[in-house]
Amino acid sequence: MIIKLVCVGKIKELYLLPGIEEYLERIRHYTPVEYVEIKAETRKKHEPDALIKQREADKIRQTLMSNDCVIALDEHGKEFSSEQFAGMLSRYQQRGDVKRLAFVTGGATGLAEEFLHRADMMLALSKMTFPHQLCRLILLEQVYRGLTILAGESYHKS
């Protein structure tokens, strides 16, 4: 199963880049991984967030295949412990119809409601609020942690 991370916006906080690259490389030890950044929409004067989110959602959909299993990151999504998250990854790995698991993170305004409702799952990283760019690194670390749990390796300590 391929893990894909689709993100709106370029990383502006340069200190995050080495961490993102490190976890992408670690994940590649277990499974193929793809990382896609989509250009964030430019806000025009008095333009509502909903229009920006919709244009970004259109761009996101262009990077997805019809048979991708889409997990949208959203503050109202389901929360997991690391062990539960690993179990979720395992269930998707065992399903024969999931070839690519696509995690989608929105930009500063989040994801369009319509996109969230069409996703296969909504995932919350925490009840806390994180900068959207930092969420990428946190998610990648948790994917790596989940894969090490499934492999029975010692990275994860309960």
**Is the CB of residue 156 less than 8 Å from the CB of residue 145?**
yes
Q: Find, among 28, 22, 38, the residue nearest to 2 by Cα.
A: 28
Binding site as annotated, residues: 73, 106, 125-130
Binding site as annotated, residues for S-adenosyl-L-methionine: 73, 106, 125-130
- Beta strands 100-105; 69-78: pairing state: parallel
3-state helix, strand, coil in the chain (%, to 5): 40, 20, 35
115 phi and psi angles, rounded to 5 deg: -65, -40
Distance between CA atoms of residues 3 and 5, nearest Å: 7
